[in-house]
Chains A and B, each alone.
Chain A
Amino acid sequence: MRAFILSTVALTALVLASPALAQDKPLAGKSITVLMPSPQGATIAAEFEKATGIHVDLQTLSWDDIRPKLVTALIAGTAPADVTEFDWSWTGQFAAADWYVDMSSAIDDATKQDIKGTSIFTIDGKLLGVPYTNDFRVMLVNKKHFADAGITTMPKTLDELVADAKAIKAKGITQYPIGLPLSTTEGASTSWYLLTKAFGGDLFDKDWKPLFVSPDSAGYKAMAFEAQLLKDGLVDPASTGLKDSQINDTMFAKGLVSIMISGEPGRLGQYSDPAQSPAVAGNVQAILVPTASGTTRSYGLLEALAIPKVSQNQEAAMAFVKWFTSKEFQIENYGNGVLPTRTSALDELNKAGKLQSGDALVEESKYVEPLFAQGTPTWYPQFSSAVNTAINAVAKGQVTVDQAMQNIADATQKAMTE
């Protein structure tokens, strides 16, 4: 009798609790796949499942390998995953291909306000991705090298930057003080974009007319500036074959370079960790990007999470996107080296003293602009490829700056008309 009463009570409790459980975790029992760049936090899948009851198969690939996988699957009409990486530079192409779900109605206005980078992923009013990692450009410096060279204030202008680099070189602290990729890789292009901003200009006008061909344009000056840094022996000639990640990992992290012109805030954690970067730990700080005028500028290279239209689990996928970009998880995920995209999360981390070079990052984030005011164009890959090919050729002395800028303009024009 006792057993009967107990089981009846338990069953009744379960029946009564079920609607509550279902309300709390309406998608419990569903399963989704997520494709993101490596590395990601080891506990993400378990935490999400605990919070929502949705099982996650988290697949990671190197960043460079993700795009071919996405493109191959999406052109074949299959879902590479229910939630995928979505880089800012893919926005134009992927929007034109109409491969991703419009999330503008699913994401509330408060979130859009808090994550300012959503504008970069919004094309024709459609929000195609919710930014989860806040990659904008700052300048990273080895403050010990500056101190050893007798430099007490950090550079605010490009002239001061060059003077400081020359002082560091003159003291023999580093042979090539400035880290600047000059290879035919995306990193070379993004550095030139930043310098173009630093010289006070933009890449295109509102009609997509190139603004970098004239010798008095910012883009032209940026290219000439890079060539001059190389000529002055401030940049390693071997940079013609190095990606930005290689310069970060093998040169700046080892104390062989003093200044990363186009620095990634997300790397501050790596550089402050004695286990990962014993040569520079404790000596690296972010500073505002020096410019010709002295007023800093930067732009965003954010990465977002997006949902392919062919995904069969869009509801559960949306739940993952919202959870992953929530303020609470962004603050937690900073421990995995992912800089929050929410202003509120950045502020909270900074107030708690947990954000490396927090003041500089928060300050620089106020100056972050989209690279293309009209949105990333469909021909961006061809443009970027033309840019880094031109930079590489200038660095090798194969073409003049004049020819390089014309080559970029010609390649862009060709790409636009295709």
Chain B
Amino acid sequence: MTAVALAATEPKRRAAGNGDAVLGVLLVTPIILTMFALVFFPLGQTVWDSLHRINPMQAGTPFIGVTNYTKMLSDADLGHAWINTLIYVAAAVVLETVFGVLAAALVNQVRVGRQWLLAAVILPWALPAVVNAVIWLWIYQPGAGLLNGLLTSVGLPFENHVWFNERTSAIAAVLVVHVWRMMPLTVVIVLAAMQTIPEHLYEAARIDGATRPQMFFSITLPLVRSAIAVAVTNATVAAFNLFDEAVVVNSSSLDTRPVVVQIYLETFQNLHFSYGMALSLVLTVISILVSAVFVVRLYNSTRLE
């Protein structure tokens, strides 16, 4: 009897299971199709095109193998741009993470008017990148700029100082604009994670005599590690894609030119489309690899034992 009953329910269960599977497939089909149409197909096409010569000024699109990739090795301007980009990435990730986590911890302590403070903090991120950059361009102006005005007012000789006439200060100036814009995102991500940490963990630590720094490093930091990993990934990708800030404050000067500006110049100025595609692909791969390294290292160094 039992065997008969089981035999009768099995097809039903199988039918229900098949129904779930079909429903699952139906639910994921739109995103799979969308991803294929908008991500994987264009990516594959770009890889294929990067192996051809695509230049509207020259007839045909012959297969040229990895020529576009080997050409990068002898491109001096690209070398300059890579050095600048790596400086931006290293500095931006460190600054945004360190100051972003500290700022999040600070905002987390505020009990009254936190929403207003948060709104003020995320304002630079909410503004378009070009608007941010133009504001900073005015701040850096040699004559009437705010920065020179402040430094001059405390007696320093910066009256007509031109920040972009020297490479180190020019790089720093671009970096400040970028960090100013992107750090609020780190603050928001990390703050959201901090707010999920149970209060009783801190109470127990206080009873055990833990100091504030000890609580921060032993409770807060390990518990927000996932959020930091997300923020670091975001900061890395954003720094690799830095474009607006450099162009607005210092045009396409080699001193501050990042790789994305070089890609833009090669593609839309010089009409070397397939070379631009190859550059974009290399930038994407390196960006993903560096993000992965950062995330794994950070995860390992902050995980709870």
A residues whose Cβ falls under 8 Å from a Cβ of B: 67-68, 71-72, 74-75, 93, 96-97, 99, 183-185, 236-238, 240-241, 243, 378, 381-382, 385, 389, 392-393, 395-396, 398, 415, 418
Chain A interface, >50% SS class: helix
Q: Which chain A residue shows the least CB distance to B256?
A: A184
Q: Is the CB of A184 within 8 A of B254?
A: yes
User: Chain B: how many interface residues by the 8 Å CB criterion?
Assistant: 26
What is the CA–CA distance of A396 and B272 in the complex, to the nearest angstrom?
Answer: 30
Known A-B contacts: A96-B57, A241-B249, A395-B165. Give 5 more (CB < 8 A). A236-B142, A237-B162, A378-B57, A381-B270, A382-B269
Q: Is the CB of A385 within 8 A of B251?
A: no
Q: Is the CB of A97 within 8 A of B160?
A: no
Q: How far is the CB of B83 from chain A (nearest CB, A)?
A: 15
What is the CA–CA distance of A415 and B272 in the complex, to the nearest angstrom?
Answer: 11
Q: Is the CB of B56 within 8 A of A184?
A: no
Q: Which of B141, B166, B251 contacts A183 (CB 8 A)?
A: B251
What is the CA–CA distance of A184 and B255 in the complex, to the nearest angstrom?
Answer: 10
Contacts of A415 in B (CB 8 A): 270
| A to B CB contacts below 8 Å, 24 in the list | A71-B271, A74-B56, A93-B56, A96-B57, A97-B56, A97-B57, A184-B253, A184-B254, A185-B251, A236-B142, A237-B160, A238-B141, A238-B142, A238-B162, A240-B164, A241-B249, A243-B251, A381-B269, A382-B269, A382-B270, A385-B265, A392-B254, A395-B165, A398-B167
Q: Is the CB of B165 within 8 A of A396?
A: yes
Q: Which chain A residue shows the least CB distance to B265?
A: A385
B250 on the A face (CB < 8 A):
yes
Q: Which chain B residue shows the least CB distance to A395?
A: B165
Q: Is the CB of A241 within 8 A of B251?
A: yes
Contacts of A418 in B (CB 8 A): 272
What is the CA–CA distance of A240 and B164 in the complex, to the nearest angstrom?
Answer: 8
* Beta-carbon contacts under 8 Å, B249-305 to A: 249-255, 265, 268-273
Q: Is the CB of B253 within 8 A of A392?
A: yes
Known: A74-B56, A97-B56, A241-B162. Is A385-B269 also a contact (CB below 8 A)?
A: yes
B222 on the A face (CB < 8 A):
no
Q: Is the CB of A241 within 8 A of B57?
A: no
Q: Which chain B residue shows the least CB distance to A182?
A: B165
Contacts of B270 in A (CB 8 A): 381-382, 415
What is the CA–CA distance of A187 and B136 in the complex, to the nearest angstrom?
Answer: 23
Q: Which of A67, A93, A241, A393 contacts B164 (CB 8 A)?
A: A241
Contacts of B251 in A (CB 8 A): 183-185, 241, 243
What is the CA–CA distance of A238 and B270 in the complex, to the nearest angstrom?
Answer: 28
Contacts of A385 in B (CB 8 A): 252, 265, 269
Q: How far is the CB of B285 from chain A (nearest CB, A)?
A: 24
Q: Which of B56, B167, B254 contacts A99 (CB 8 A)?
A: B56
* Beta-carbon contacts under 8 Å, B40-62 to A: 56-58
Q: Is the CB of A67 within 8 A of B268?
A: yes
Contacts of B56 in A (CB 8 A): 74-75, 93, 96-97, 99
Contacts of A398 in B (CB 8 A): 167
Q: Mark B230-257, 1 if CB is under 8 A from A, else 0.
A: 0000000000000000000111111100
B residues whose Cβ falls under 8 Å from a Cβ of A: 56-58, 141-143, 160, 162, 164-167, 249-255, 265, 268-273
Q: Which chain B residue shows the least CB distance to A68?
A: B268
Q: Is the CB of B250 within 8 A of A241?
A: yes
Q: Which chain B residue shows the least CB distance to A67?
A: B268
Q: Is the CB of A75 within 8 A of B273?
A: yes
Q: Which chain B residue shows the least CB distance to A379?
A: B270
Q: Is the CB of A97 within 8 A of B162?
A: no
Q: Is the CB of A240 within 8 A of B165?
A: yes
Q: Is the CB of A183 within 8 A of B253?
A: yes
The 10 A-B pairs with the shortest beta carbon distances in the complex, nearest first, are: A96-B57, A97-B56, A238-B142, A381-B269, A184-B253, A184-B251, A241-B164, A68-B268, A396-B165, A238-B162
Q: Is the CB of A389 within 8 A of B57?
A: no
Q: Which of B160, B166, B253, B265 contacts A238 (CB 8 A)?
A: B160
Contacts of B162 in A (CB 8 A): 237-238, 240-241
Q: How far is the CB of A383 from chain B (nearest CB, A)?
A: 11
Contacts of A72 in B (CB 8 A): 268
What is the CA–CA distance of A418 and B273 in the complex, to the nearest angstrom?
Answer: 13
What is the CA–CA distance of A74 and B273 in the complex, to the nearest angstrom?
Answer: 13
Q: How far is the CB of A234 from chain B (nearest CB, A)?
A: 15
Most buried by B among A71, A93, A238: A238
Q: Is the CB of B143 within 8 A of A238?
A: yes
Q: How far is the CB of B158 from chain A (nearest CB, A)?
A: 13
Known: A67-B268, A71-B268, A241-B164. Is A93-B252 also a contact (CB below 8 A)?
A: no
What is the CA–CA distance of A15 and B286 in the complex, to the nearest angstrom?
Answer: 72
Most buried by B among A68, A74, A184, A382: A184
Contacts of B57 in A (CB 8 A): 93, 96-97, 378
Q: Which chain B residue shows the least CB distance to A240?
A: B165
Contacts of A93 in B (CB 8 A): 56-57, 271
Contacts of A389 in B (CB 8 A): 253-254
What is the CA–CA distance of A415 and B265 in the complex, to the nearest angstrom?
Answer: 13
Q: Is the CB of A396 within 8 A of B268?
A: no
Q: Which chain B residue shows the least CB distance to A70?
A: B268
Q: How far is the CB of B269 from chain A (nearest CB, A)?
A: 4
Q: Which chain A residue shows the least CB distance to B166?
A: A396
Q: How far is the CB of B215 from chain A (nearest CB, A)?
A: 47
Q: How far is the CB of B74 from chain A (nearest CB, A)?
A: 10
Q: How far is the CB of B244 from chain A (nearest CB, A)?
A: 13
What is the CA–CA distance of A385 and B167 in the complex, to the nearest angstrom?
Answer: 19
Contacts of A236 in B (CB 8 A): 142
Q: How far is the CB of B58 from chain A (nearest CB, A)?
A: 8
Q: How far is the CB of B144 from chain A (nearest CB, A)?
A: 10
Q: How far is the CB of B101 from chain A (nearest CB, A)?
A: 34
What is the CA–CA distance of A398 and B270 in the complex, to the nearest angstrom?
Answer: 25
Q: Which of A74, A96, A184 contacts B252 (CB 8 A)?
A: A184
